[in-house]
Chains A and B, each alone.
Chain A
């Protein structure tokens, strides 16, 4: 991956830096905790802008609720899916140990809504993971992100992680992919999407046997040949690399993805950060989250 490409990505992310230390999704936008947490993670993954990263961590902490959650907008704290990303952004920094622990404790004590099994729903609705929004069902992406956060805190063997892994595997589609979290409704199998599959594969790495996800790797290998949008491509690469499925062509794909901003307009900070995290994996051959 060319160094100047990374510099360009970092430069673009920094354009969204706000005077208070947080990040917006776009230039001249308002503070968003998800944009801030993703920016921290991506900049740190390549050891860039340490001072900016520290200020951003501090800004992120400002809006943490007493129970440890970080919500998308202060005062509307049912939307707490950002807590897992914030926890990862504080991980390993002594100055934010308290905020980190609080957020981990929040995740440990928070469940998606479960219900008795239903004949018309393909997945096991009794399993508990994490929802996007408080008081709703557990879905694949927030559960995968919570698994990553809890694993960062050494909770690999905790029953919440064990059950969450079970949930994730239960939501796997027959051909190996995942979508947002429904496999089959009223007898109809649903389609997969590659970013959900990528995030999930990334979160599962190191926790389950490769045979359980061999088909998933095959699904992503096909998708990565054609997808060039930042969310899909970024997570496809991260999901594959987490299982040591590196390809030389990934560099080229990321540059093609970047160039598509001429067609789609500027990518938001979260998407740019996913691109940068994928770059970090290609550079370092280690998991940045």
Chain B
């Protein structure tokens, strides 16, 4: 992987037709129908959603859950209640659950969002009146999605609940203007499934990450980007800068809610080759920056040391402890130091004084 970043390529917030053409030409990508594509994304307006604007404070709920055999559904429902998510917000809504399925290894609970957490979320959203739920993911490494569904046990959840699973890597797509402007990518190509749902939930895994430092609800949004257009791995995003793209994708997609599975997380050389870390939590909230900052604190990492969170604090949501209203458990009661690899620069800087 060669995550070269081009941090000088931020563009103006207004993208003109000329900018689009320039971008396309730069990629050698403008075909005769390029203007048709331009018109498509110009017309697309993402429905406004629940993402809390960068405000003085946000709320995040922490549930202490020791194992995947516990009653996770009732804890999620408690979290919804504490965060003010009621039936009125969910009733008759179409929900898209975006788990983190990146690689597969039979019996490994620490790599991907656990199927029991996804099952619990399905129960909870249906309990609150959701009209439909889909699970959608575009794995960044493993192209054999069926193998991942099998080895993670998610196939049992899908078949038990009769919930559709969408492999986003092969979705029909639409181009949309990048609302973030950190990465220099003028457009994103997004899966059509996003147009067919009302609420997008990032169902992430609590892990260290050898390029981004940590990965939680925001980095998880990389999986929405179809491999057909971003590659395996999603190298387009690496070249444009991982941290920049994390921000741009979140600002463009605007996920409504985050649920992070930290019951068993990953420490060391994440997000794939690290080792299991029993941290015994689920973290949830509306604001992805505040949720991820809470996750960082649980991992005993100062949020402002995480590059993407530091950038997110001024535009997506607060990351400082005193600006996040913690519901449920206190951070100190669940905090557990995640092992970071000193030889990996993105991790080393997380605990430097």
A interface residues, Cβ below 8 angstroms from B: 25, 29-30, 32, 34, 65, 67, 71-79, 81, 113, 115, 118, 120-121, 125, 131-137, 139, 141, 179-180, 182, 185-188, 190-191, 193-195, 227, 229-232, 260, 263-265, 268
Contact = CB atoms under 8 A, between A and B. Distances in A.
Interface stretch (B22-30, B51-59, B309-317, B328-336): B22-30
Contact of A125 (B2, B144, B228): B2
Contacts of A188: 269, 273
A73 B189 CA distance: 11
Contacts of A191: 103, 105, 272-273
Interface residues of B, number: 49
B231 interface: yes
B235 A131 contact: yes
B105 A268 contact: no
Given A30-B172, A74-B31, A78-B28, A139 B143 contact: no
Please list the 6 inter-chain residue pairs (A to B) with the smallest Cβ-Cβ separation, ordered nearest first: A132-B231, A136-B235, A75-B37, A75-B33, A229-B146, A78-B29
B31 A135 contact: no
A31 to B, nearest CB: 10
B230 A133 contact: yes
Contacts of A135: 27, 236, 239
Nearest to A112: B235
Contacts of A190: 272-273
A78 B189 CA distance: 12
A32 B344 CA distance: 40
A72 B341 contact: no
B229 interface: yes
B252 interface: no
A231 B235 contact: no
Contact of B236 (A136, A185, A260): A136
| Residue among B27, B29, B344 facing the most chain A CB atoms (10 A cut-off) | B29
Nearest to A35: B170
| Residue among A136, A179, A191, A229 facing the most chain B CB atoms (10 A cut-off) | A136
A230 B147 CA distance: 9
A109 to B, nearest CB: 11
A264 B273 contact: no
B27 A74 contact: no
A77 B29 contact: yes
B308 to A, nearest CB: 19
Given A133-B236, A186-B341, A195 B143 contact: yes
Contact of A121 (B1, B147, B175, B232): B1
A29 B233 CA distance: 25
Contacts of B69: none
